């Protein structure tokens, strides 16, 4: 091969490599979603929805205690209508909470759940909850709202008691500038 | 006939067409090298002017000279201009001038592509600089163009994106040309291990360029699509992820800093043996280290983003790979010192800059090792410590390499010796003012001063004032450099063909100034 032809050949190969790298740049986007995105998804809500629970484990009973708190500026009363439930893992449980706006203004609150011990959170599947949305109450209005949940039968045996606690925070409408 | 031509003074061989057309149409590697170098130094002064405006604003706390938005535009454009329009073209200029001379080739492999890759630069420059006058001004998202800010900026950002596209094409064409030249155009007998280290470093650099520039082009294209065509690669509101941008950018960005330093390694590896009057110590280990740096460079990028929240395993991986870079770099440093060991040293300006390079690069490199440690980096991220670190590696090291190379080869290019006394002044002033500018920044960073902020807390005043004094001294000293170069072009003591007593290599076998056409008949290397 002559010098010029050899040069052209090498140039063509190297240009292909450059073009390949351009494509590789785009490949990195789905690759990133696959590697990092998958990990993020497992950390958040997606896990709850994916695996259906069909078996009720009658051999075990877990005590679930209910707790309610109101934070700072929100002048609401907030309480569970039952103190505890005895729950079989896998069983669908319906409970209710009651909230009252004690102030003279309409107020919006958002409930944030927490679990004790925290390890229980991964096995606590809520199907319906007032905490899914913020709640608006007119002055002195009282509402009773449901929570429907089940506990995953995969829950380890060293969690005989779980406390489900809600705290209501005030949601202020964003002030326009 | 060809041999006879080689002995005619360069001026007699100039192409017939005169004036500006000669420079626009030229396909001669020496002409294009000269164009690159002049372009580079003018952009160096433009980028420097921006740096001085930044330093003037930071001389005292409070806002004095510029508005904060404009300050952000200045820091962003200073970075883009210095990296893409000053340092990179300077090294490509050296490659153009020196590679054919060092390898015994008549020209670059593709002279017309070579012409194209230079003449793309002015267009990119116009786009980039004109973006200051676009509504909303130039890009102010930092030279890293991080999303989501870069998704939201005004049309100045689009101009920067197109400028980067053009610069990317120019760099890729340049890189392709250089690889083909090095692999295919060597004189008979010039085996890979007989060619100078400068060619080796450029081979690895060019390979990095064609690996990473397309990724940058892809990244800014995705940015452009996010901005205008409804995609959501980086826009979290549409399911994208700004962290993805950082990964893509630094996949380009980290190898890019080796693109900016490897050719300097090559220049230093030519200068130190000449003035030590000894061959380069450990050529093969130097080559291995260069290739090693090139490979590891592509697996360290996430150390720029330790604070985005990544798994510990990933942090450890990128920390260890980053620390690994210190090994080949240490080999190089050892070899340079071993080359000087028991040599017959003389200290002309190129040697001074080469030794200055060893000094500042050690500081830059070691602070890099400190920053590689995850828990330390989390503290120092986005502080002036980083600014000091990368200016030690890029300004000091790359620039000192460029200065060393310029003084070293200037007599070959112009046929005249430069003014040695002024050269020595240039070195000592540059070294002193550089350190005066950037040593305070290490302490500012350790004390917690954030970068890219036009104002700062009162306790940082003294060190900032010092840095500003240093920066102005450093900036004005470079005018002395421009003067020395112009003076050398216009006249001076005639240079011999070998120029330096200890100089070895094919480029010293042609007369000074190097004739317009050299090695039309290939030399035979023993």
Given CB atoms, is A29 within the 8 Å cutoff of chain B?
A: yes
Contact, B274 vs B345, CB < 8 A? no
Please report, to the nearest 10 degrees, the dihedral formed by the alpha carbons of residues B261, B262, B267, B269 taken in order.
120
Nearest CA to A78 out of A89, A86, A69 is that of A69
* Distance in Å, alpha carbon of B109 to nearest chain A alpha carbon: 7
Please report the pLDDT score of residue B11 as a whole number.
46
Interface with chain B: mutation pick from A9, A12, A22, highest number of B CBs within 10 Å: A22
Given CB atoms, is B215 within the 8 Å cutoff of chain A?
A: yes
* DSSP 8-state code for residue B81: I
> Given an 8 Å threshold on Cβ–Cβ distance, is B215 in contact with A24?
yes
Contacts of B218 in chain A (CB under 8 A): 22-26
Kindly report the pTM of this predicted structure: 0.80
- Burial (CB count within 10 angstroms: exposed 0-12, middle 13-18, buried 19+), residue A117: exposed
Given CB atoms, is A16 within the 8 Å cutoff of chain B?
A: no
> Given an 8 Å threshold on Cβ–Cβ distance, is A29 in contact with B215?
no
Is the pLDDT at B509 greater than 70? The verdict is yes
With DSSP H G I counted as helix, E B as strand and the rest as coil, what are the percentages for chain A, rounded to 5?
30, 35, 30
Contacts of B176 in chain A (CB under 8 A): 11, 14-15, 18
Tally DSSP H helices, then E strands, for chain A: 3, 9
Surface of A (63-122) touching B: CB under 8 A: none
**How far apart are alpha carbons B43 and B126 in whole angstroms?**
11
Sequence-ordered list of residues with C-beta below 8 angstroms from that of B152, at least 6 positions apart, any chain:
none
Strands A62-70 and A161-170 turn out to be parallel
Interface with chain B: mutation pick from A3, A13, A21, highest number of B CBs within 10 Å: A21
**How far apart are alpha carbons A36 and A32 in whole angstroms?**
6
User: Per residue in B369-400, is it b (16+ CB within 10 Å) or e — as a string?
Assistant: eebbbbeebeebbebbbbbbbbbbbbbbbbbb
> Given an 8 Å threshold on Cβ–Cβ distance, is B247 in contact with A14?
no
Catalytic residue among B250, B258, B336, B385, which? B258
Strands A107-116 and A84-87 turn out to be unpaired
**Could you count the other beta carbons within 10 Å of the beta carbon of residue B335?**
20
Mean pLDDT for B93-109 is 95
Active site residue B451: yes
Query: pLDDT of B414-443, one tens digit each?
Result: 999 999 999 999 999 999 999 999 999 999
What percent of chain B is predicted at pLDDT more than 70? 97
Nearest CA to A78 out of A143, A148, A172 is that of A143
Q: Can you read off the two tokens belonging to residue B504? A: 């070895």
Given CB atoms, is A46 within the 8 Å cutoff of chain B?
A: no
> Given an 8 Å threshold on Cβ–Cβ distance, is A25 in contact with B215?
yes
What percent of chain B is predicted at pLDDT more than 90? 88
Please report the pLDDT score of residue A173 as a whole number.
66
Active site residue B303: yes
Active site residue B107: yes
**How far apart are alpha carbons B102 and B331 in whole angstroms?**
24
Contact, A128 vs A97, CB < 8 A? no
Query: pLDDT of B170-227, one tens digit each?
Result: 999 999 999 999 999 999 999 999 999 999 999 999 999 999 999 999 999 999 999 9
Please report the pLDDT score of residue B15 as a whole number.
52
> Given an 8 Å threshold on Cβ–Cβ distance, is B210 in contact with A25?
no
Q: Can you read off the two tokens belonging to residue B15? A: 């192409």
Consecutive H or E run containing A125: strand A124-129
With DSSP H G I counted as helix, E B as strand and the rest as coil, what are the percentages for chain B, rounded to 5?
75, 0, 25
User: Per residue in B143-160, is it b (16+ CB within 10 Å) or e — as a string?
Assistant: bbbbbeebbebeebbbbb
Contacts of A16 in chain B (CB under 8 A): none
Please report the pLDDT score of residue A46 as a whole number.
43
Q: Which residue from B minimizes the CA distance to A19?
A: B214
Contact, A120 vs A155, CB < 8 A? yes
* Distance in Å, alpha carbon of A35 to nearest chain B alpha carbon: 11
Q: What angle do CA B412, B418, B423 make, to 5 degrees?
A: 125
Please report the pLDDT score of residue A4 as a whole number.
87
Q: How far is CA B379 from the centre of its chain?
A: 28
Is the pLDDT at B336 greater than 90? The verdict is yes
Contacts of B248 in chain A (CB under 8 A): 25, 28-29
Mutual angle of helices B283-296 and B312-340, in 10-degree steps: 160
Which one of A6, A14, A32 has the shortest CB-CB distance to B179? A14
CA atoms within 13 A on the CB side of B500: 29
Please report the pLDDT score of residue A1 as a whole number.
54
Active site residue B516: no
DSSP alpha helices (H): ranges in B343-414? Answer: 349-372, 374-380, 384-391, 400-414
**How far apart are alpha carbons A113 and A127 in whole angstroms?**
14
Is the pLDDT at B6 greater than 60? The verdict is no
> Given an 8 Å threshold on Cβ–Cβ distance, is B222 in contact with A7?
no
Surface of B (128-187) touching A: CB under 8 A: 172, 176, 179-180, 183-185
Catalytic residue among B29, B303, B391, B516, which? B303
Active site residue B143: yes
Query: pLDDT of B227-278, one tens digit each?
Result: 999 888 898 777 788 899 999 999 999 999 999 999 999 999 999 999 999 9
Please report the pLDDT score of residue A51 as a whole number.
56
Contacts of B216 in chain A (CB under 8 A): 25
* Distance in Å, alpha carbon of B172 to nearest chain A alpha carbon: 8
What DSSP assignment string belongs to B286-316? HHHHHHHHHHHGGG-GGGGGGGG---HHHHH
Contacts A–B by Cβ distance under 8 A: 73
Mean pLDDT for B121-150 is 93
Is the pLDDT at B362 greater than 60? The verdict is yes
**How far apart are alpha carbons A77 and B478 in whole angstroms?**
73
pLDDT band of B449, cuts 50, 70, 90: very high
- Burial (CB count within 10 angstroms: exposed 0-12, middle 13-18, buried 19+), residue A108: middle
Nearest CA to A81 out of A147, A34, A22, A131 is that of A147
Instruction: Write down the mean pLDDT value for chain B.
Output: 93
Nearest CA to B502 out of B346, B349, B353, B355 is that of B346
Contacts of A14 in chain B (CB under 8 A): 176, 179-180, 210
Is the pLDDT at B8 greater than 60? The verdict is no
Contacts of A22 in chain B (CB under 8 A): 214-215, 217-218
Given CB atoms, is B110 within the 8 Å cutoff of chain A?
A: yes
**How far apart are alpha carbons B383 and A85 in whole angstroms?**
54
Nearest CA to B236 out of A37, A47, A28 is that of A37
DSSP alpha helices (H): ranges in A106-173? Answer: none
Contacts of B188 in chain A (CB under 8 A): none
Strands A76-80 and A107-116 turn out to be unpaired
**Each residue's pLDDT tens digit in chain A (177 positions)?**
578 899 999 999 999 999 999 999 889 888 887 877 655 544 444 444 555 556 788 888 999 999 999 987 788 999 999 999 999 998 889 999 999 999 898 888 889 898 988 888 888 888 889 988 888 999 999 999 999 998 988 888 888 899 999 999 888 765 544
ipTM of the complex: 0.85
């Amino acid at each position: 091969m002559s010098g010029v032809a050899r040069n052209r050949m090498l140039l063509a190969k190297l240009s292909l490599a450059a073009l390949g790298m351009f494509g590789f740049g785009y490949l990195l986007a789905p690759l990133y979603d696959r590697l990092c995105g998958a990990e993020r998804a497992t950390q958040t809500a997606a896990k709850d929805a994916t695996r259906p629970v069909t078996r009720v484990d009658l051999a075990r009973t877990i005590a679930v205690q209910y707790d309610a708190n109101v934070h700072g500026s929100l002048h609401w009363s907030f309480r569970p209508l039952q103190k505890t439930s005895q729950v079989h893992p896998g069983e669908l449980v319906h409970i209710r909470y009651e909230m009252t706006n004690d102030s003279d203004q309409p107020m919006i609150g958002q409930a944030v759940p927490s679990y004790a011990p925290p390890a229980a959170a991964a096995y606590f599947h809520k199907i319906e909850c007032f905490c899914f949305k913020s709640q608006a109450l007119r002055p002195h209005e009282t509402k009773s709202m449901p929570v429907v949940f089940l506990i995953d039968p995969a829950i380890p045996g060293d969690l005989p008691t779980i406390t489900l606690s809600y705290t209501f925070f005030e949601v202020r409408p964003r002030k326009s500038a | 006939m060809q041999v006879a031509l080689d002995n005619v003074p360069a001026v007699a061989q100039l192409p017939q067409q005169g004036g500006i057309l000669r420079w626009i149409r030229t396909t001669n590697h020496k002409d294009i090298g000269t164009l690159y170098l002049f372009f580079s130094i003018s952009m160096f002064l433009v980028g420097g002017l921006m740096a001085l405006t930044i330093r003037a604003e930071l001389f005292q706390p409070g806002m004095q000279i510029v508005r904060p938005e404009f300050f952000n535009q200045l820091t962003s454009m200073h970075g883009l201009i210095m990296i893409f329009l000053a340092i990179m073209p300077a090294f490509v200029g050296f490659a153009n001038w020196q590679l054919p001379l060092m390898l015994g080739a008549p020209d670059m492999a593709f002279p017309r592509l070579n012409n194209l890759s230079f003449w793309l630069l002015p267009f990119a420059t116009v786009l980039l600089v004109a973006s200051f006058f676009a509504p909303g001004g130039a890009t102010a998202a930092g030279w890293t163009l991080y999303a989501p800010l870069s998704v939201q900026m005004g049309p100045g950002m689009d101009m920067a994106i197109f400028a980067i596209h053009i610069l990317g094409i120019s760099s890729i064409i340049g890189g392709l040309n250089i690889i083909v030249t090095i692999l295919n155009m060597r004189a008979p007998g010039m085996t890979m291990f007989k060619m100078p280290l400068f060619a080796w470093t450029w081979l690895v650099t060019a390979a990095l360029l064609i690996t990473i520039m397309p990724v940058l082009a892809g990244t800014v294209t995705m940015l452009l699509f996010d901005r205008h065509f409804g995609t959501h690669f980086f826009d979290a509101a549409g399911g994208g992820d700004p962290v993805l941008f950082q990964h893509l950018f630094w996949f380009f960005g980290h190898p890019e800093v080796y693109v900016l330093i490897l050719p300097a390694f090559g220049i230093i590896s030519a200068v130190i043996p000449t003035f030590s009057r000894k061959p380069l110590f450990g050529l093969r280990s130097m080559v291995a280290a260069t290739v090693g740096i090139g490979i590891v460079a592509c697996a360290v990028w996430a150390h720029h983003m330790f604070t985005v929240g990544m798994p510990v395993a990933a942090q450890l991986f990128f920390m260890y790979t980053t620390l690994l870079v210190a090994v080949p770099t240490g080999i190089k440093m050892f070899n340079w010192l071993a080359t000087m060991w028991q040599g017959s040293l003389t200290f002309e300006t190129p040697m001074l800059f080469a030794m200055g390079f060893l000094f500042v690069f050690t500081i830059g490199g070691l602070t890099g090792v400190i920053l590689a440690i995850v828990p330390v980096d989390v503290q120092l991220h986005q502080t002036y410590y980083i600014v000091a670190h990368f200016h030690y590696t890029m300004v000091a090291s790359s620039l000192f390499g460029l200065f060393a190379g310029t003084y070293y080869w200037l007599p070959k290019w112009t046929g005249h010796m430069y003014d040695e006394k002024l050269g020595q002044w240039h070195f000592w002033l540059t070294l002193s003012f550089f350190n005066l500018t950037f040593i305070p920044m290490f302490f500012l960073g350790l004390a917690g001063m954030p970068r890219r902020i036009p104002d700062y807390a009162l306790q940082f005043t003294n060190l900032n004032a010092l840095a500003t004094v240093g920066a102005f001294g450093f900036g004005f000293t470079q005018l002395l450099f421009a003067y020395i170069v112009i003076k050398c072009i216009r006249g001076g003591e005639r240079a011999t063909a070998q120029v330096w007593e200890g100089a070895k290599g094919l480029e010293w076998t042609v007369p000074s100034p190097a004739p317009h056409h050299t090695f039309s008949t290939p030399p035979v290397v023993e």
